[in-house]
Amino acid sequence: MRSVVRPLRTLLVANRGEIACRVMRTAKRLGMRAIAIYSDADADALHVRAADQAIRIGPAPARESYLDIAAVIRAATEAGANAIHPGYGFLSQNADFADACAAAGIVFVGPSGAAMRAMGRKDEAKALMRAAGVPVVPGWQGEDQSDATLLREAERVGFPLLVKAVAGGGGKGMRVARHSAELPVALSAARGEASRSFGDARVLLERLIEAPRHVEVQVIADRHGGCMHLHERDCSLQRRYQKVIEECPAPGLSAALRARLHAAAVRAAQAVGYENAGTVEFIVAGDDGWFLEMNTRLQVEHPVTEAVLDIDLVEWQLRVAAGEPLPAQPAAPRGHAFEARVYAEDPRNGYLPAGGRVEVLHWPARDVRVDAAVEEGDRVVTDYDALLAKVIVHGVTREDALMRLESALLATRIEGVTTNLAALVALTRDSDFRSGRMTTGLIDSRGDALLPDAGTQRERAGAIAAAALLAHPSGEGADPWAAKDHWRLQGPRDFAVHFMQVPGTGFSVAAAAAITESLQPGAHPSSCVSVSMDEVRVWLDGEFFRLARVARGAPAESAGGSGEILAPMPGAVLDVLVAEGDAVTRGQALVVLEAMKMEHTLRAAAAGRVEGIDVRAGQRVRDGERLLSLAIRDEAIGDEA
């Protein structure tokens, strides 16, 4: 390949977040001007700062900004861009957008609108794949969407089965029915979510393959008839059909199955005259694999392919879009790579998306690639996808790479925004994942047991904080004469710490003498701690605990208090699950909120009683609006807490 892409001079990235930053890095390296677009919610976002020029395209709602085709085309014209890279999500698989680019004389870095349409509808795509000799999961696709027809066809296909949105993707509009009695509920839920997400309520039926793996093959094709696979990735670690950790190559595949999947993926791309990068996805069980769908764009997990093949897929995309032929097929994968997706979400509260300002941000430094959407001080909004960053590691073997991934995640610290880091760390330690025996149901089957017990983790964090206070009673590097800890000459260091997140729970420093050696600061490889004049911060197994210092002899506030349940983002209340006066336990479901086209369950962070309810089912709420309030149960801070 030549060193620069001369036909493409100015590239507009029709996306946001980490993928926009990632695409612009390659574009600039190739000597191109990089143009960003942004909504009002993203005016100060990292991708805006990373661009050579940034253009506002509308207010926060995606339909009025990032999904507004006319606005994106106007921005490209204004910036003098002769190419648009769509990233993933938003308009990346919108055939009308690809056609609009062509009509405006702008190069679309991706396939044609016709190829998108061919693969965009799951029913039509499966028919094309059958004709091309690609194995397809048994199912039914048809225009008659009556309940009677769907029930009759479901009996023919056989239970258990999946009800899937025809125009779906990303796990939206998908429900399981294990027998005929469950089908009406599954149909209603899938249709409703499909209509809200895609504006198309039509569904198809597909036999449910129990305990499968999700394996995808990266393909790329040029306009000169060249088409090749770039090996495969395993994306089985999913939560509610959303990928969490991916790897390349896929472990445990026989040579014969791997060859069949590679060949089938190339045939699938050729069947629709595909051009540019795409991914053909398969369901795998044992030594069999079936076509699932084709994503007609770059995938979130593309960096693991880049790591093992030592290529830049975005560069390949740009060169193919500029009309260059593909290079020779790369050599076999070198080593093994993992990618973990760091989301702004709370794994202890149903993975509810979280927002806020990033107060402290520390990424792993050595031998780790981080594709990030934020920097320290940035505000995380809840208007769009919750992905903050991708942590990518490469090792000589799978075992080596997995060890590097765990270490990288433990070295990552994000304060101010709740993340899924604890769940990612727990997954790297899961026995089935470590042995390569994972399936797409692994995370959901683990449920709350995936994470260590919350109470035990708080006790461990409290013990670590107390031990740290014994070593640094005035704070690390602090002036002891300015300390506010009631220390006195020749007197006991008698103070406590209590958790800010869970009122009424804490740990007494007087009990720290009995702390085992394994909990001493710095001795536990999964923890780090910092002591200041007023608080102690503890990172333990990917979770962040902030503890306030309380003098034992000083007047203390009540450990109880009022806990407000606030809307984490704009949305609609689907259900209120408690009544005023009800006693609730920690983790109990309180309110179901629909936001970002998905249902989210808000749970109690501590035991208490419902003091007041401020909303009702069907009501729309703003970000931060109070939904209900709890009186937190009093629990005194004691030596054994």
Q: Using DSSP, state whether 589 is helix, strand or coil.
A: strand
SS3 helix, strand, coil % of the chain, rounded to 5? 30, 30, 40
CA 334 to chain centre: 27
Please check whether residue 641 is in contact with residue 635, taking contact to mean a CB–CB distance below 8 angstroms.
Answer: yes
Q: What are phi and psi of 485, to 5 degrees?
A: -105, 15
CA-nearest of 549, 539, 532 to 496 is 549
Residues 6+ apart with CB under 8 A from 338: 245, 246, 247, 304, 392, 393, 401, 402, 404, 405
Output the DSSP codes for 339-351: EEEEESEETTTTT
CA distance 189 to 172: 10
- CA-CA-CA-CA torsion sign (51, 57, 61, 63): negative
Strands 352-353 and 369-372: unpaired
Residues β-bridged to residue 36: 13, 54
Max Cα separation, the chain? 86
Q: 3-class secondary structure for 108-154?
A: ECCCCHHHHHHHHCHHHHHHHHHHCCCCECCEECCCCCCHHHHHHHH
Residues 6+ apart with CB under 8 A from 615: 573, 576, 591, 621, 625, 627, 628
Question: Exposure of 315 by Cβ count < 10 A (0-12 exposed, 13-18 middle, 19+ buried)?
Answer: middle
Please check whether residue 215 is in contact with residue 313, taking contact to mean a CB–CB distance below 8 angstroms.
Answer: no
Please check whether residue 134 is in contact with residue 111, taking contact to mean a CB–CB distance below 8 angstroms.
Answer: no
CA distance 607 to 633: 6
Cβ count within 10 A of residue 479 = 9
Residues β-bridged to residue 584: 608
Please check whether residue 305 is in contact with residue 369, taking contact to mean a CB–CB distance below 8 angstroms.
Answer: no
How many helices (H) and strands (E) are present in the chain, helices listed first? 16, 36
Q: Which of 297, 369, 398, 404 is catalytic?
A: 297
- Spell 432-464 as b/e; 16+ CB within 10 A means b: ebbebebbbebbeebeeebbbebeebbbbbbbb
As given in the structure block, the two tokens for residue 270 are 């050729």
The single-letter code of the amino acid at 206 is: E
Output the DSSP codes for 284-348: EETTEEEEEEEE-S--TTHHHHHHHHT--HHHHHHHHHTTPPP-PPP-S--SEEEEEEEESEETT
297 is catalytic: yes
HSE-up (13 A, CA, CB side) for residue 96: 6
Residues acting as catalytic residues: 297
